[in-house]
Amino acid sequence: MISFSHVYKTFRGEVHALRDVSFTIPKGDFVFLTGHSGAGKTTLFNLLAGFDRATSGHVMVANYNLADLRDDMVPYFRRKVGVVFQDFKLLNNRTVQENIALPLEIAGASSIMIHEKSNQMLSSLGIADKANNYPDELSGGEKQRVAIGRALIAQPDVIIADEPTGNLDPHLSREVMNVFLKFNALGTTVFIATHDQNLVKDMQKRVVRLSKGELADEASA
């Protein structure tokens, strides 16, 4: 479950990136976050992922109240939330397969399990042939898919993905959405920020819309 209650985020006392934002996403839902560039989508995701704290208001994710999250609890919280960053944040000294496998390694999975699951993920994302390449040898769309694979592989309670199809063509976007849907069917709550109105229309899911830092109309596409 994700819940924002009267959340404000102000940068350096001037920029009101989020203003009185309240909404709830029940466990297991699949929701899009839309809004123009600068509307506050990445800011909202940074709060959700525990990378930044709200100026005021409450953010709850997977039973953690992020305002009170102690520093020593942060690693536990992070395992519950898979994050696809707008700028990927891949590790350049690890291969594609090693990047994707990282959350399983951290969780202490066996090497057989790591091998099996990462191979499966590589094929569902159509990048099996790049398993042994390094991130700087990939196209933008390939990097994007590695970031998605890494965020999903440990089957987090919640996945937040910031523009996960920004570098993909419509066909690949659809394939990637199918991977999100598959994990959603297993119980992962999915929250995806996107500018792609066609994708939102296609998917027929709930939409949370931000406009200049405020929650705008909310409707199913």
Ligand X SMILES: Nc1ncnc2c1ncn2[C@@H]1O[C@H](COP(=O)(O)OP(=O)(O)OP(=O)(O)O)[C@@H](O)[C@H]1O
Binding residues vs ligand X (CB under 6 A): 11-12, 15, 17, 35, 37-43, 86
Piece of the chain touching Mg ion by CB under 5 A; list 33-41, 165-173, 198-206, 211-219:
33-41
Rounded Cα gap, residues 91 and 62, in angstroms: 27
Using CB under 5 A as the binding criterion, the count of chain residues that bind Mg ion stands at 2
Of 41 and 209, CB closest to Mg ion: 41
Q: Give 160: exposed, middle or buried? Use CB within 10 Å, 0-12, 13-18, 19+.
A: buried
Helix, strand or coil for residue 141? helix
Which of ligand X, Mg ion, none has residue 170 at its interface (CB below 5 to 8 Å by kind)? none
Name the residue number minimizing CB distance to Mg ion. Answer: 42
Of 40-48, 62-70, 164-172, 177-185, the window that binds Mg ion (rule: CB under 5 A) is 40-48
Instruction: Report the partner that residue 10 touches, choosing among Mg ion, ligand X, none (CB closer than 5 to 8 A by kind).
Output: none
- Cβ atoms of residues 54 and 44 within 8 Å: no
Among 188, 173, 13, CA closest to 83: 188
Specify the amino acid at residue 44: L
Using the rule CB under 5 A, give the single segment among 41-49, 113-121, 130-138, 142-150 that binds Mg ion. 41-49
Query: CB 148 → ligand X: shortest distance, Å?
Result: 17
Q: How far is the CB of 153 from Mg ion (least distance, A)?
A: 23
Instruction: Annotate 16-83 with DSSP letters as a single string.
Output: EEEEEEEEEE-TT-EEEEE--TTSSHHHHHHHHTTSS--SEEEEEETTEEGGG--GGGHHHHHHHEEE
Q: Which of ligand X, Mg ion, none sits in contact with 82, Cβ below 5 to 8 A by type?
A: none
Q: ∠ at Cα 173 (171, 174), nearest 5°?
A: 65
Nearest-approach distance from CB 43 to ligand X, in angstroms: 3
> Do 86 and 38 form a contact (C-beta atoms < 8 A)?
no
Q: Does 42 bind Mg ion (CB under 5 A)?
A: yes
40 binds, among ligand X, Mg ion, none (CB under 5 to 8 A by kind): ligand X
Binding site for Mg ion (CB under 5 A): 41-42
